[in-house]
Amino acid sequence: MSSREGFMSPQTETKASAGFKAGVKDYKLTYYTPDYETKDTDILAAFRVTPQP
């Protein structure tokens, strides 16, 4: 008996809702809003990514 036996949950089949189907969606359909105006309460997040060899 391995140390992990009994800790793994059985795989179950789930159905994806309409908003979470696999695949690539066009950017402008999900995020792009050309008439958006920034507000004073908007938060800007920036991340620095260092490439790994």
Across residues 2-21, what is the average pLDDT? 58
pTM of the model: 0.28
Distances (CA, A) of 23 to 2, 12, 15, 18, 37: 37, 21, 15, 12, 29
Q: Residue 8 gets which letter from DSSP?
A: S
Extended beta strands in the chain, E state: none
Would you place residue 51 in the very low, low, confident or very high pLDDT band (cuts 50, 70, 90)? very high
pLDDT: is 28 or 16 the higher one? Answer: 28
Checking if the pLDDT of 48 tops 80, the result is yes
pLDDT band of residue 9 (cuts 50, 70, 90) is: low
Rg (CA), the chain: 21
Helix (H/G/I), strand (E/B), else coil: 29: helix
CA gap 28, 23 in Å, rounded: 15
